[in-house]
Structure 1
Amino acid sequence: MKKNLTLLSMLVGALGLVTAGGGSALAGGASCSAQTASETTCGLTTAMQQAQASHLPVLIKVGTEWCSACQKFEKDKVSNADFRAAIGKNAVLHTVDAEKGTGIEIAKAYHIESYPTYVLANSDGEVLDRWTGYSETDEFLKTLATACDNPVTVEERAARFRNHPTEADAAKLAELRLADGLYGEANALFQRAAELNPKAEASYAYASFQAVAKGTHSNVFDLADARHAADRVLATKGTQDADLLRVAYMMRKVAGKAGDDAAGLPYLKAAVERTANTKDSAALEMRAMALPDYALNIQKDLNRALELKKASLGEDWMETAKGLNNFAWWCFENRVNLDEAEQLARKGVELAKAGVEKANVLDTLAELCNLQGNCGDSVHLIEMAIAEAPDNDYFRNQLTRFQELVAMQN
């Protein structure tokens, strides 16, 4: 498959980054000051040229302003010279914002859904690897070093796998197919990896479920397929507590999309009850987020659910736009406590920083107003959101939706 072979090169041309003289139209080529030997924010052209000159791959970091993990990466990079140097030994780092400028098209081209996402490519634009998330410098550098230690393109890896199948290549190809939105191929490759190493069945059962669950959004798989894959995760010996909770979260999303909310509840119940004694930090964090839903939907205790939801947001949640928006959105999704949710969302709008953060809270407030029959207010609020984030297609689609609802009311 050659889908990603020259994706960076195509993006350079498609986004108008190359001038007739070969420089960067986005940032002025060599005159751009925001670059070093190992990092540039001056456009893909500059990054690829630096990578070629340095005989290194390009590492594209795709993030957003509001992404806390993105912020931590930037903070660590600025404050830790050793961290910067270690990255620079392996790759030329190029940073883009998925919600601004050319970063929007780059994020779309790579089907990026989570932040930060890192895409490793050679200087010809051929994708070598990609991964998502950031927590600590050592873990990141280990991932980067592993990716750079075996820098083969997707096509080369696929050819190698056909001739000599290994678990490592099956798993990596599955991850890359999953990232490309090729959910059927990803599912099959994860299952093949499990066949090549039966001892790792638990991790691949969850990975396979991920592919199936995501595939329901593009109708590659359906709710029945997702149930089958989720049941397999629950039945597999050695499944991690965190994976049980991830399955519960994703099954509720899949069931909701299918119009059968009840289909997700058995997985919520199983995950919360089976992780009651967990000591895993990731599982504990996810369990705290699942407990309000468990109280609301399994125990049928609204007051307890609201109490747990507020407790999960931290002590100062009512003084931050993020915390207020999180609570208001949860109320919207569950169709509960709407008056307080609207009040807190309005406070969130006042506290939010200009730009995408304010736009997101305005969107939540618009949904709450619409849910209570105030479609006209929703249109006005979404227009305000668009003014804050004019390049965001989601808010424009929301405007069309609310305008249609107003027309139906009239």
Structure 2
Amino acid sequence: MKKIYLPPFLFCAITSIAQNDTINHFNYNQDAGLQYKKNDFQWTTWAFAERLFSSNQLPAWRRVRQGMEFQLPSYPLKISGNKYRSTLFYEVDFTDNNFFQDSKRFKIWENLFVTFQNANDPNKFRILFGENTSILSREDNLSSGNLPTINRSLILEQHGSTNSFGTQWGLQILSQITKKTFLQASMQDNRGSLNQDKPSFQFWNALAIKMTQSLIQPSDKSAEKLNIGIAIDHTRNINNKSFTLTSAINNENLGNALATGNRLTFENNADYTNKIGSHFYTLEYEVIYSNYSNQNLNVSGGYGQIQFQAFDNKKTGDLVPFIRYDLVSLNNQIESATEQAIKLGINYNLPFTNKLINFHIEYAHHKLNGSQSIITKSQNQFDEFRFGIRVNATRYLRF
């Protein structure tokens, strides 16, 4: 679930409500948001804000999001011994239309869907219809309010130039096949929907399937866990698009190549978490390959990342440095280009804030090589640096 911002004075009010026995149905959940419960009905609201700063750029809002989920009462009949319910869910991002300054005011929609799901655990079974994130990429489905970096991987963000992945209109199904195996399938447009200038709603336009295997699960005695996933997606009728290379932090345009027709994409990811003493760490990677049929354009790349928790306590805060390597390579049999980026950064949850206020520093070093017909930036190597503040109404957790 994506996360939230509320002014600090409201946290005191929410906490007071949660502790007031005369108001039985409101509570503040530090990992979900403000909630209202009555019998089998639950309403949750969340929001968060992210402000970026740098020496050579004006301050900018990266994300300002707010959303709600309505968990409707369970249906009276059981199916195979399980109870089911429907939920209504939305999330908006006010930066998508520059806080209503742009003419396309509807572009604020990031998510808007209805579900039929297992009443107690939607990860066991869920059918969803509406606007939601494409199932293909693991990183794409990490909470925007809980990302370790300002932007997601280069290969993922750059697919957005052809309106691929991200939030799309259509149908999704999730089912837990075994205790450790999860299967997802989707029919979504995959050419951009509600938050695009020209929305597209032909949800039968793309088919995708993904399997995730939990090879090691955490227990009371061990924090160790290991997950691996594979996915495939086929999207048709991509028109008037170019695959655009962009920089890792400032999203600077570095070059582009035509990318139209049908797109076939493969994805693989894995993440491993454990402890060294009392210090958590996570190793992860994701790789994506796509072919665009009209130009026979092949795009491949991915990232690898290490995060390590230096310390975590109330008085000194929570400090997690990271290092990350990104690669994107594209070619159409006539011309080619390669972009590499090394990112270094820290995430620091400030002391005495219960992980609700986070300070972020990020540096990226880029290398570019390839055909001048694709690459438009004159420098083959360049650097970017930015820092930011995240304010949530839910905890910013790295592990």
TM-score (norm 2): 0.29
User: Hey, which of these two has a bigger chunk of strand by percent?
Assistant: 2
User: Hey, which of these two has a bigger chunk of helix by percent?
Assistant: 1
TM-score (norm 1): 0.29
| Higher relative contact order structure (alpha carbons within 8 Å, sequence separation ≥ 6) | 2
Bigger radius of gyration among the two: 1
